[in-house]
Amino acid sequence: MRVTRLGLVVIPLATLPTAGLPNLIHIRRQGIEVPIQISDGEIQFIAQPSDSPATSEAVYWVTSESTLGARITLPAVLTAPLVWERDQVYQSTALSTRGDRWFAGELRAQGATLPITLSLPRGVAAGTLVELALTPIVRRAGHQLQLWHQGELVGAASWDDGATSGPRIAAITLNRALPAGDVTLDLALTSTGTPEDAVLIDQLRMPSVAVPLPLLPTPTLATPALHDLRSGPAPGQAGATSLIISHSDFLPALAPLVAAHQARGHTVAVIDVQHIYDVFSFGERSPEAIRNFIRAAMSWQLAPRSVLLVGAGNVRMRPQANQGDITFIPPYLIDSDPKYGEIACDSCYARLSTNLRTQVVPDLPIGRLPVHTLAEAHIVVAKTVQALIAPPSGTWRQTMLAIADNDLELNGTPDQAGPFSTTADAALAALPDTYRLERFFYTPQADTTAFRQRLFQAWDAGAAMLMYTGHASLWQWAWTNPDAATPHLVGLYDADARTNGARLPILLAMTCLSGNWANPTLQPIDERLLLRVGGGTVASLSPLGSGVQRGHTQLLAGVVPALGAGSTLGAAHLAGLKALAATGRDLDLAFSFGILGDPELTLPAPTQAIYLPLTTR
């Protein structure tokens, strides 16, 4: 059974499929038994939601065993301490007391207040303790918070940071009473001096103020997966060279992809991600469970050579009551980016050493189809299958498109992050001579409209590989004239206009952020290109964080020769990481780049022209 809120759970014994003797019933969560009360033909117990950053959903297991279960007598009136929490603001560089990065709001010194609305069952006396879970953004002395009610100061807190600034509890003692009913408190940051103060507010608690526990809806009971995945993907199957981990919503779309992999000589296993949770994390969503499963799969008699995750993810893994859960396969979050802090790292799932932070090169390639609906899954699977087994013929197969941001500003000043054209040219030089190279290197003096027209004409004609080097954001590649109607080289909605059909390139995006599929609000351009019907891309090696040109150059030094020699995109990614590791620099890129698409994809074999002798009489 699954629970997302604190409250009383009541299960009629008659609804259990095989209850057996009531005194032999056990309920556990995370392997730990929960005491229950059985009376009047009902099981009753207090359920807690999960406090994991990956989910608020707790899974309780009901079993009938040969031993007596733990029992408790519940009080007639069930209460819990008052807690106020709203996950509204994501701050990737700051930790909450829970260990995630979601907060109710951000306070700035002398800025706007944060309203906190409470429903108090009775009046709260002066002297009551209020605990604020918070995280300072600025490390400093002299933090000052004030709590107001209807224009009157009701409490304050102050503290100094030490050598580090992190999550903490600030205690406020109320100096005035609060009335019963709905009460709105205003929290203000009143610190003065420099540096200017800023604090993230996570949660408010009143430990001594009891509020009634709700009666939760009767939960639905489900039968967990029974097969232990440690022994193999399925009973009688010794292993698989191609491992596909999918959310159940997308399983109906995968048969053509499985057949395509089998046609290329793979033994394929498709695993429902919930099956992994049932075996490795007591049924609850857990990125670490997926990683542990992949580690276990490597000991199968037939071990996987690549992993494909099917399902989008999001850093918002604890949705509010009015929000849907949009995480199908969770991101593996790691604080590794020098600018953005926490980022999603799919390659971390495939880093199987004890300390993945010290492992630059994963044990095996991994990719993701970031699909949100079954329709999107069908689209991406169809594109992938055609690229795997039947890409159309034509000169597009030996065409490589290289796009580079401007090396010089309009006034001739070098871009400090460049030169981008140099990185592109060095990568193109590593390709076999059989490839036709088309360069689209932007300069500020160029007619941007004409430049884009030429670029998209070439793109829509088809290419085997598309490479971009330069600046980017989630929704665009390169900035041109900020006053222009189109202030970029390639924008998010340019993906919707691509008509290259099945002549689909593998994209190498040597930039920042353009592949960040885990962003809580915005779709990245690299994802949109992959999801495009009738064109776009078939896969990409994309960044989810920041990067530098020096590191991109090293990545390309490994990736491009491997792709040109016929390696899979996954193997090429690992070759790029090995080249990066050899330098000992910019190693954060090893965690920020990931594959959107199937890691088993390769560049299509160039169409060979055959010349026949002509004999005339």
- What are the domain boundaries of the chain? 2-78, 80-212, 229-350, 384-596
Residues 6+ apart with CB under 8 A from 238: 232, 300, 301, 302
248: left (phi over 0), alpha (psi -120 to 50) or beta: alpha
155: phi then psi, degrees, rounded to nearest 5: 170, 160
Strand 143-149 relative to strand 152-159: parallel, antiparallel, unpaired?
antiparallel
Residues 6+ apart with CB under 8 A from 301: 232, 238, 239
Burial label for 243, CB within 10 Å (0-12, 13-18, 19+), is buried
So what's the pLDDT on residue 496?
Answer: 98
Burial label for 235, CB within 10 Å (0-12, 13-18, 19+), is exposed
**DSSP SS3 for 133:** strand
Q: Distance between CA 377 and CA 524 in Å, rounded?
A: 17
Burial label for 413, CB within 10 Å (0-12, 13-18, 19+), is exposed
**Residue environment code for 269-297, b if the CB has 16+ CB neighbours within 10 A, otherwise e:** bbbebebbbbbbbbbbbbbebbbbbbbbb
Residues paired with 337 in a beta bridge: 341
Among candidate residues 96, 133, 1, the one with its CA nearest the CA of residue 57:
1
Residues paired with 206 in a beta bridge: 82
**DSSP SS3 for 478:** strand
Q: Distance between CA 609 and CA 361 in Å, rounded?
A: 39
Q: What is the pLDDT of residues 448-470, one digit of tens each?
A: 999 999 999 999 999 999 999 99
Fold type of domain 229-350 = Rossmann fold (3.40.50)
Burial label for 462, CB within 10 Å (0-12, 13-18, 19+), is buried
Q: What is the pLDDT of residues 559-612, one digit of tens each?
A: 999 999 999 999 999 999 999 999 999 999 999 999 999 999 999 988 655 444
Instruction: Give, for 350, the enclosing helix (H) or strand (E).
Output: none
So what's the pLDDT on residue 500?
Answer: 98
Pick the CATH number of 384-596 from 3.40.1360.10, 3.40.50.1000, 3.40.50.1460, 2.60.120.10: 3.40.50.1460
Decide whether 229-350 matches 384-596 in CATH topology.
yes
Query: Is residue 240 within 8 Å of residue 304, measured between CB atoms?
Result: yes
So what's the pLDDT on residue 163?
Answer: 83
Low-confidence ranges of the chain (pLDDT < 50): 610-612
CB atoms within 10 A of CB 521: 9
**DSSP SS3 for 491:** strand
Return the HEC string of 225-270: CCCCHHHCCECCECECCEEEEECHHHHHHCHHHHHHHHHCCCCEEE
Residues 6+ apart with CB under 8 A from 103: 87, 88, 89, 90, 91, 94, 96, 135, 200, 201, 202
DSSP secondary structure letter of residue 544: S
Residues 6+ apart with CB under 8 A from 413: none
297: left (phi over 0), alpha (psi -120 to 50) or beta: alpha
Among candidate residues 197, 212, 182, 94, the one with its CA nearest the CA of residue 138:
197
Q: Distance between CA 520 and CA 526 in Å, rounded?
A: 16
Strand 399-404 relative to strand 539-543: parallel, antiparallel, unpaired?
unpaired
Determine the distance from the C-alpha atom of residue 300 to the mean position of all C-alpha atoms in its chain, rounded to a whole number: 28
Q: At what angle do helices 374-389 and 255-263 cross, to 10 degrees?
A: 20
- Stated pTM of the model: 0.94
Q: Distance between CA 320 and CA 324 in Å, rounded?
A: 8
Instruction: Give, for 61, the enclosing helix (H) or strand (E).
Output: strand 61-64
**DSSP SS3 for 120:** strand
Residues 6+ apart with CB under 8 A from 163: none
Q: Distance between CA 374 and CA 250 in Å, rounded?
A: 5
**DSSP SS3 for 332:** coil
**DSSP SS3 for 150:** coil
Sequential DSSP letters for 571-588: HHHHHHHHHHHHHTS-TT
Domain 80-212, CATH 2.60.120.260 — does that match? yes
Hey, what are 412's tokens? 């001739």
Hey, what are 451's tokens? 């430049």
Q: Distance between CA 600 and CA 567 in Å, rounded?
A: 9
